[in-house]
Chains A and B, each alone.
Chain A
Amino acid sequence: MSALIRAVGFSVVMILAFAAVTYVLPQVKGEAPEEEEVNLGELTIDSFVAMGEKLYKGKGTCTLCHNNLGRAPDMLTFDVHAASLQRIADSRYQGQAADVESYLRESMLEPSAYVVEGFGKKGSDDAESPMPAVDQPPIQLSGIEIDAIIAFLQQKDGNPVTVALPSGDAAPVVESESTAAAPVLAQNAEEAIAKFGCAACHAILGSKSPVGPSLEDVGQRLQPQQIRISIIDPKAEIAQGFPPIMPEFPNMALAELEMMVQYLSQQTGSQP
């Protein structure tokens, strides 16, 4: 009997120990997409872009592969407009698109029309894309949803949005918010600095905030590339003596980033 008790006790302790491991891991829940009605009549280009961003990061599951892990080009890190024009002109391009909008649509519906070098299916010599057509299951984006993503990809780098707003009666769209506001693109570096609230913590544009290191002489201390990294990944290097509280700016457009980098690298502290 004692052998039985010891064996059972040992087994139960082991089982509970394995269960305990699940408690120390991050508790993430994966919700299934829910359908929402969107009143197309109330859509503005800004809310359409916001819907596109949400679809890009949500139902479209684009970020599952298009991220910094190297499975597919991370489209948030380069100018999609310029890259699209280059690809259309590339001799390897097999599609029919003549402009950026139609290229982006084609790349979602027929991903193999152009495969970025090194990202093709194994053994296909970059002739076949592993990306599924987004209008087919399991992603199943509607035409309006695809247009919204195109609008987002165009707008994120400050390029003109050429997609026409959908018209007609209410249509079901998954994971969308018609009232969500799209970020308004800053026109110059000062606007960008104000938009992202840099002066709340840093000394810049008249602010003398001591929370973060002064930006008035940042051009003297850091190279442009270091400034760029500090904005993209604030936690990559923490300035000595300052708390690591600077947030990331996932909604910052590439154009805004570059304007700020250029502006800040000129801040050498010698200005009046």
Chain B
Amino acid sequence: MIGFGAAMLTPVASADTHGSEQHDAALDAEAGNRESALEALPAPKPARGDYPNIGTSSRGIVWVFAQMHLFFGALVLAVPIFVLVIEFIGFKTRDDRYDDMAHEFMKVSLTAYAITALFGGTLALSLFLLYPQFMNYLMRAFGSQVLIYALLFFLESMLLYIYYYGWDALRYGNRKWVHLTLGLLLNGVGTTLLVVANSWSTFMMAPSGIDPATGAITGNLWEIMKGPLWNPLNLHRFLANIAFGGAVVGAYAAFKFLAAKSAAEKAHYDWMGYTSNFVAILAFLPLPFAGYWLMAEVYAYSQQMGILAMGGILAWLFVIQAVLICTILLAANYYLWNGMARTEGGERYRWLIKYIALVLIMGFLVWVTPHNVIYSGSEIARLGGGHHPVLGPLGIMPAKNIAVFLMLVMTFLSFQLYRRADKEITVSWQHWGNALMIVIYIAACANIVFAGVYYGYFTNTVYKVGSSVLQVMSTVVVIVAGTVIDTLMFKGAKKLPVNWGQVSNRSQYALFALPIAFTWLMALMGYIRSSVRTHWHVYAVMKDNSPDNFIPPLATVGNMVTGITLLFLAFVLFIFWISNLSGTRQLPPQPQGDIALAGGGK
């Protein structure tokens, strides 16, 4: 640390207005030496006393600010992505309703933008205050990249404001193309911001571009950014952000639906809620596959890290993850089933719902069945061993994989039935098409069960992972085949009337359940991702010697995540209120005489 400080204070050159080639060369050499001296510095090794003590948990402070920044960042980056798609659909179909809805979504996102920046700034200040050595090392690794990040933030702000405030000015004709291009640029910059920030997280988990023995920076910026976990995290966060953003604006629509006074208002917010749910689930369905890729890369990078997450002390948190994901799937399905009431065509498929619900409930129960539980002596005696003779096999991963993939397939089935509910298919080959779809569903479900049982219970551990590849493929085949077959079958289909607004109030609570579960889930998974580093700031390179370098008990994690989620809920309510407030106009006060006159007139 002292060496670094000294190097920073050493003047690069003395004042010499004449100069000479030799002197310039000397200056270059000196500057080069300084640069290489900085690069050659090993990673700092702070002792416990080097961490500033402000009387409360430094990790707790950073945890809250980082998570809040991530929540709002996710919302702000994700909403413009699907807003652009909705705007484009409105433009192509010449339907102003799409345009109005997209604009309203952006109103929510715009208010959240300032809060994102405030939490981001507070997070950065907290990190520099509480973890100065770590930030010093991070700044050394990423150098000028942080300034580029700041520059991108300026660009994002400008594009966002022009995109939102220029909406009505650039609404039709060629001007709309200008507006759409602005939206595209906004998303391009937003996604770049996301991947740049991700590189800091993945550098901490799996550092690259450094000397692994000392932590000295040896690579260029690209080598430092492009660690083994960077792209898997980029994809995972990109999808998760869209799902999260869709869910949050869905809650906004549900709230407005419940508070709506007129049928027209109800119809508008019902449609808005449906669209949000559609976006959230569409992004959510491929998320497990992105998660698999990320965990596979974690295992490939460090088996120890992977086992710690999935089979070590952190593995218990995946029981809560199961509860959360099942809540999301149940809520999404419940909303779709309720939505079938909007059209008479939905009656045709109502009989199937109970079977889908049965599979979802069974899957939920299997997923939450733990493998090892701490039993008392009498419980062990009653069980006849450490594991239940029947339920024991359901506690291990293969059973859970079967449950998860069947639940995903059933969710797609609900979605497919919903899409078919308002259509009467007219193509001549509809019976063959339906038969093919049924065969694909049966084959995929059978393959998911067979692969899980065979590889999971009758082969060596090494081959167990192989089962998930087959299960992923089966699920993807159902989704792709279902989409393609339906697209072809819907050609020339008779459209049945859809009565927007004709949906139960109860269904709207599913739209509240979604963002709540998503928010809790994001905070939980973010904690797990960060905790796999254990007592390292930068894994295997820079140790964390702070008083908070332990993995806290699960209830402490639960309390933190709950507190952060409640805080986020409070801020989201503030955003909804502000969004409403912006559309409220106070009536001008009437002159006293007029009131008296009006009163007198009565």
A-side residues, CB < 8 A to B, are: 3-4, 6-8, 10-12, 14-16, 18-19, 21-23, 25-33, 61, 64-65, 69-71, 118-119, 122, 130-132, 136-139, 233, 235-238, 243-245
Contacts and interface: CB of A to CB of B under 8 A. Distances in A.
B381 A7 contact: no
A30 B534 contact: yes
Interface stretch (B184-192, B237-245, B273-281, B300-308): B300-308
Contacts of A237: 384-385
Interface string B505-517: 0000100110011
Contact of B255 (A3, A61, A71, A137): A3
B316 interface: yes
A27 B555 contact: yes
A137 B551 contact: no
Contact of B304 (A6, A15, A29, A132): A132
B535 interface: yes
A206 B569 CA distance: 70
B154 interface: no
B540 A6 contact: no
Contact of B509 (A10, A71, A244): A10
A121 to B, nearest CB: 8
A12 to B, nearest CB: 7
Contacts of B259: 3-4
Nearest to A32: B535
Interface string B444-477: 0000000000000000111001000000000000
A118 B304 contact: no
Interface stretch (B90-98, B218-226, B406-414, B556-564): B556-564
A239 to B, nearest CB: 10
Given A14-B327, A65-B307, 14 more contacts: A8-B569, A14-B513, A18-B520, A21-B319, A23-B555, A25-B370, A25-B554, A26-B373, A71-B311, A132-B302, A136-B213, A136-B540, A235-B380, A236-B385
Given A25-B319, A244-B378, A16 B562 contact: yes
Nearest to B572: A11
A4 B255 CA distance: 7
Given A14-B517, A21-B320, A243 B377 contact: yes
A225 to B, nearest CB: 16
Contact of A244 (B327, B377, B544, B566): B377
A160 B73 CA distance: 61
A238 B384 contact: yes
Contact of B573 (A8, A64, A236): A8
Given A7-B512, A32-B549, A235-B386, A22 B255 contact: no
Contacts of A243: 377, 381
A18 B316 contact: no
A244 B573 CA distance: 54
B541 A137 contact: yes
17 contacts: A7-B255, A7-B258, A12-B569, A18-B561, A22-B559, A25-B370, A25-B554, A27-B555, A28-B313, A29-B552, A32-B534, A61-B304, A71-B461, A138-B536, A238-B381, A244-B380, A245-B377
B323 A138 contact: no
A142 to B, nearest CB: 15
B550 interface: yes
Interface of B: 212-213, 251, 254-255, 258-259, 302-304, 307-308, 311-313, 316, 319-320, 323-324, 327, 370, 373-374, 377-378, 380-381, 384-386, 460-462, 465, 509, 512-513, 516-517, 520, 534-536, 539-541, 544, 549-555, 557-559, 561-562, 565-566, 569, 573
A54 to B, nearest CB: 18
Contacts of B320: 18, 21-22, 25
Nearest to B536: A138
Given A18-B520, A132-B302, A7 B541 contact: no
A10 B512 contact: yes
Q: By DSSP majority rule, is chain A's interface helix, strand, loop, or mixed?
A: loop
B68 to A, nearest CB: 15
B226 to A, nearest CB: 21
Contact of A22 (B251, B384, B461, B558): B558
A65 B258 CA distance: 53
A18 B554 contact: no
Residue from the set A3, A18, A19, A139 with the largest chain B CB neighbour count within 10 Å: A18
Contact of A15 (B316, B384, B566): B566
A64 B512 contact: no
A22 B557 contact: yes
B375 to A, nearest CB: 9
A233 B386 CA distance: 9
A115 B311 CA distance: 22
Contacts of B551: 29-31
Nearest to B466: A122
Contacts of B541: 137
Given A3-B259, A8-B573, A21-B320, A14 B313 contact: no
Contacts of A26: 316, 373-374, 554
A244 B259 CA distance: 60
Nearest to B324: A18
A14 B323 CA distance: 11
Contacts of A138: 302, 304, 534, 536, 539-540
Contacts of A30: 313, 534, 550-551
A70 B539 contact: no
A235 B374 CA distance: 13
A236 to B, nearest CB: 5
A57 to B, nearest CB: 13
Residue from the set A14, A119, A236 with the largest chain B CB neighbour count within 10 Å: A14
B93 to A, nearest CB: 32
Contact of A118 (B460, B535, B549): B460
A5 B451 CA distance: 47
Contacts of A6: 258
B258 A11 contact: no
Contacts of A236: 385-386
Given A12-B569, A15-B566, A64 B255 contact: no
Contact of B550 (A29, A137, A233): A29
Contact of A69 (B255, B308, B311): B311
Given A8-B573, A15-B569, A23-B558, A29 B549 contact: no
Given A30-B313, A64-B312, A15 B535 contact: no
B44 to A, nearest CB: 15
A235 B91 CA distance: 69
